[in-house]
């Protein structure tokens, strides 16, 4: 393994952590919205269906 391979692996790992943190932050924000707005945008029903499909 050369240095570039290790660096690329670390970048991928950090990118995945960043993605997970952003998803959690978004979920928290959407959960703070009033119930009628969440219902209008389909939260969390549409999100849960999308996550289960992947």
pLDDT over threshold 80, residue 3: no
Residue 5 tokens, joined: 């391979």
pLDDT over threshold 90, residue 15: yes
Confidence of residue 11 (pLDDT cuts 50, 70, 90): very high
**Is pTM, for the whole model, over 0.75?**
no
Residue 16 tokens, joined: 């995945």
Rg (CA), the chain: 17
């Amino acid at each position: 393994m050369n240095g570039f391979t290790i660096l690329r692996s670390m970048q991928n790992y950090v990118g995945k952590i960043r993605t997970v943190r952003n998803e959690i932050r978004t979920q928290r924000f959407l959960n703070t919205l009033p119930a009628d707005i969440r219902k209008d945008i389909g939260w969390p029903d549409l999100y849960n269906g999308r996550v289960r499909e992947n």
